[in-house]
Structures are given as structure tokens and as C-alpha cells.
Amino acid sequence: MQNESPYARFRRTNATKNNCTKRQTSYFIENHLSSTEIYVERTDITIPAVLVVNDAEGADGFLAFAYAEEDIQLGDYFTWKEDNHFFILEGVHIVKEVDYKKFKALECNVQTSDGVWLYFKGNMRTFKDNALRQNYEVNGLKPLIIAPLHETLQVNGYITIDNQKWHIVDADVDSIHGIGYYYVERDLNSRNIEDELELLEEEGLLDGPSVVYVGQGVTINSEKGFITGDDIQVLKRTANSVDFKFTSAGRLSVTVKQNNVEKTYNYEVKEL
């Protein structure tokens, strides 16, 4: 450009250099050993990205990188390899003078009965198995759930994970926009159904008055599988027993036959 001024030539040259630098800095997103694709649920789009373990956050924490033009935001859920669910925890920003975004993400480790994916901080099995500690506290702190803000997560509300109900006793929804930190206690009035029935069976109480739940299968000894009662559905009969479930809650009874004598058992049937 013969008529180009020195200043215009400087700006054009500098812009070309910057564009080259940007292309080089984001080159790794599709050419890194950890290059992959993630599916962003909000936008319903699959995008190229790099996922690397963030040692500072532990085994469930990741650093992720994507091109600067990708529509990805704080609190977005994304999936990797279809069955690995993550959400963006913090730090969606464009690194200065380059063309990629860098952010922190957590891999979800539990899902509620409503289908909401969460991160349960700590050992979930420890909280479920330790039935002697009322508040299930760890180092003086209640169990903590981290998740994007969701209408089902409210203080004094309840969530159900693996048939166990948890009470949300406190929350911090202000520190990071779009992310909630929820402190929970196990609801001891709602015992794990499978654990309770296993305990009843071990103690031989399934043939006597018991607490059971609507829709939960119950086995009782009865000759030729004989049974009568209101609001029951027979699931299976054998020569010596019958499997059934209650279809409604309340104080209900069934009549079975044992030693050629009809015998009635009373149940306290609760909603799940």
C-alpha cells in the first residue's frame, strides 16, 4: 500500500501479529492430550474443550478451557462422555490477550429423586451408614451440597438421594452468583427403606406389626400364599409365603393363614 501512512501500517502489522498470537494460544484446545468435547445443556450444543484435573480442588475438581466465542456461563451444566455430569463452579473469563475461556468445574457425584445433579462434599457412604450420629457432622460442620441454584433447593426444604431424605438447614446463595452452598442434615424420621426392611427381616418382624411404606414390597408367611386385606396388591405367591404391597397410607391390616389358622397383622403404612 504505497499511500498507507506509517501509523496505519503500524496498526495493521500489529493487528496481524496479535491475531497470529491468539491462534497460537488457543491451538491447544483441539490439539492437547486432554482435548475432548463437552455437551452444554443450556445451549444444547457440543463444543471442543480441554478438561484437566485441578489438584487444588481434589479428584472431583477440574479446570476447563474453551474457545472465547463459546456461549458457556457460570452455573451451566455440561456432560462429558455422556454419563459424566459437571457444572461450572467459578471463573468463566477470557484470559488476557488470548482467545480462550478458562473456568473451574465440579463433577457431580449424586442425583436427587427429582433428577437434579449435585456435588455432595465428603463421603456420601459415611453419611448414609453412620446411623448413630444425629447430625452427621464432619469436623463440626454439617454435610455440604454444592450446586447451581435450582427451585427444588430451598432452606427448610427436603431433597431425596438414594431413598434417603435430607433436610436443607442453611444455605449461602450470595457468595458466588448462580451457585448455592447448602448445609444439610439427614432426616431421621425418614429411614432408608431398604435398610429398614432388611433390619425387620433380620429380626423376624415382617410377620408382625410393622412400619412399611406405600409401594414397598413386603413378604409374610402364609400357607399357599393366602392373603386378604384392603388396599393391597399381591406381587407373588408361593406354597409358604406371599409378597404384597400397600397401595395407600394409613393403619391397615392383612389376614394370612398359618398352621391352618387365619391370623391378622396390623401395619402402619407411610408415604415415601
What is the pLDDT, as a whole number, of residue 229?
A: 92
What is the pLDDT, as a whole number, of residue 165?
A: 85
CATH number at residue 224: 2.60.40.1080
- Check whether 241 has a pLDDT greater than 80: yes
Whether the model clears a pTM of 0.75, i.e. scores above it, the answer is no
Residue 20 makes CB contacts below 8 A (sequence gap 6+) with none
Task: Check whether residue 176 and residue 118 sit in a common domain.
Answer: yes
Phi-psi region of 83 (alpha: psi -120 to 50; beta: other; left: phi over 0): alpha
- pLDDT tens figures, 3-41: 656 655 545 545 544 554 444 566 778 777 778 889 999
62 lies in some domain: yes
Domain count, the chain: 3
Domain containing 215 equals 193-270
Rounded to 10 degrees, the C-alpha dihedral 187/270/125/142 comes to -10
Please name the residue that has the C-alpha cell 414390597. Answer: 217
CB-CB contact of 185 with 162 (8 Å): no
Name the nearest CA neighbour of 149 among 44, 43, 76, 79: 76
Return the higher-pLDDT residue of 161 and 55. 161
Task: Check whether residue 144 and residue 211 sit in a common domain.
Answer: no
- pLDDT tens figures, 109-147: 888 888 889 998 854 444 443 332 333 343 445 678 899
- pLDDT tens figures, 253-272: 899 988 888 888 888 888 87
**DSSP β-bridge partners for residue 252:** 267
Q: What is the mean pLDDT of residues 205-234?
A: 81
Under the banding of pLDDT at 50, 70 and 90, the label for residue 77 is very high
Q: What is the mean pLDDT of residues 220-235?
A: 91
What is the pLDDT, as a whole number, of residue 189?
A: 64
Please name the residue that has the C-alpha cell 408361593. Answer: 238
234 lies in some domain: yes
Burial 71-81, CB ≥16 within 10 A → b, else e: ebebbbbbbbe
Task: Check whether residue 136 and residue 48 sit in a common domain.
Answer: no
C-alpha cell at 33: 492430550
1 lies in some domain: no
What is the pLDDT, as a whole number, of residue 129?
A: 39
Burial 143-159, CB ≥16 within 10 A → b, else e: bbbbbbebeebeeeeeb
Average pLDDT, the chain: 75
Cα gap 58→118, rounded to integer Å: 16
Task: Check whether residue 131 and residue 208 sit in a common domain.
Answer: no
